[in-house]
Structures are given as C-alpha cells and as structure tokens.
C-alpha cells in the first residue's frame, strides 16, 4: 500500500497545485449527503448509514474538484475523507445535470488509515436556481492491511451553489 500512496500522492498533489487559468473563483457549492453504505471486512460485508458534508469547486466550466467527509455506521465507524474530480455530462433536460467522478479517499477505521480509490456518478436535480438534490453512487476498493475490501455508497442530499 505504501508504494501505491508514494506513487499516487505526488501526481494528485501536482494536479491540485497546477496553475488554473483564470484564478478568479468560478463557483463553489456546499452540501450534505446521506444514504446507505456497504463496506467489506475480510470475508463479510456490512451495511450501514452514511452522512457528511461536501464541497465542490468549479475550476473550469463543467469541471470540479470535490471533497467529502463521510461517517459510516458500520463496525469500526469507517470515516472517509474523499477527494475527486467531477465532470458534467451533456444533459437533455434543463433541470437535470448528470455527472461522472473519480478520485481517492483516506479511510480512518480500526487498524489505521487506509487508501482507497473511488469512482461513480449521479444526477443533480434542480429544485431552485442555486439549490440541487443529488442522486449519487460511489464505489471502489479500499486497500486495508493484508487485503483489499470494497466500498459502495448510494446517497442523496442537498447542494447549494454559493453566490
């Protein structure tokens, strides 16, 4: 796991520190998410609830850097600090905005911090000019000591775009 972290961390750091054209703030959205999560432990998988805050920073039209902090209710209370890249897809409906995303997460659970990868997507449903309700799915491996577990989350919540 340490070799993976040592290879991925510099690339992610360069990506996050890369000078972004037009340093003016293009958009920040804050929100909260909640839903079901499934986390594998060795030979078994446990289901639980998930809740936590989110923040998205739009650095180019339709491209976001995102960060989530989620707490899960499974045994050991897994906590994930996830960072990802989100890309908006073309939408046939003006009040729906589909997206895909991918990134990495640091998992804090019994036995130490672990590294995980995540990918997923969803749709934002507009309910007011700056207010959206997401339907989201995230999944990926979490590299724990001596094994790899799997994570899946089905969530919704609320998202507000700051003026």
Tokens at 104, concatenated = 């990495």
Ramachandran sector of residue 35 (left: φ over 0; alpha: ψ -120 to 50; beta: rest) = left
Indicate whether 17 belongs to any domain: no
Indicate whether 15 belongs to any domain: no
| pLDDT, position 11 | 53
Indicate whether 88 belongs to any domain: yes
The answer to whether residues 82 and 105 touch, using CB atoms and an 8 Å cutoff, is yes
Count structural domains, the chain. 1
The answer to whether residues 71 and 106 touch, using CB atoms and an 8 Å cutoff, is no
| pLDDT, position 4 | 56
HEC string of the chain equals CHHHHHHHHHHHHHHHHCCCCCCCCCCEEEEEEEEEEEEEECCEEEEEEEEEEEEEEEEECCEEEEEEEEEECCCCCCEEEEEEEEEECCCCCCCEEEEEEEEEEEEEECCEEEEEEEEEEEEEEEEECCEEEEEEEEEEEEEECCEEEEEEEEEEEEEEECC
Question: pTM of the full predicted structure?
Answer: 0.80
Indicate whether 25 belongs to any domain: no
CATH at residue 149: 2.40.160.20
Indicate whether 145 belongs to any domain: yes
Indicate whether 78 belongs to any domain: yes
Indicate whether 22 belongs to any domain: no
Domain assignment of residue 56, given as a range: 2-9+32-161
The answer to whether residues 48 and 73 touch, using CB atoms and an 8 Å cutoff, is yes
pLDDT along the chain (163 residues), means of 10: 54 46 66 93 81 96 96 90 96 93 94 92 95 97 88 96 92
Indicate whether 56 belongs to any domain: yes
Return the bridge partners of 120, or none. 101, 138
Tokens at 10, concatenated = 């510099």
| pLDDT, position 153 | 96
């Amino acid at each position: 796991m340490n070799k993976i972290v040592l290879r991925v961390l510099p690339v992610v750091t360069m990506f996050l520190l890369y000078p972004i054209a037009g340093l003016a703030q293009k958009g920040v959205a804050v929100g909260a998410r909640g839903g079901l999560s499934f986390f594998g432990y060795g030979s078994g998988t446990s289901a639980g609830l998930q809740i936590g805050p989110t923040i998205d920073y739009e650095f180019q039209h339709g491209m976001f850097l995102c960060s989530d902090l989620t707490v899960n209710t499974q045994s050991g209370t897994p906590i994930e600090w996830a960072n990802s890249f989100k890309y908006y897809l073309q939408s046939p409906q003006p009040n729906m905005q589909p997206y895909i995303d991918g990134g990495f997460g640091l998992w804090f659970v019994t036995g130490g911090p672990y590294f995980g990868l995540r990918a997923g997507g969803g749709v934002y449903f507009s309910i007011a000019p700056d207010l959206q309700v997401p339907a989201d799915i995230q999944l990926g491996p979490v590299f724990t000591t001596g094994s790899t577990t799997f994570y899946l989350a089905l969530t919704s919540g609320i998202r507000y775009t700051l003026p």
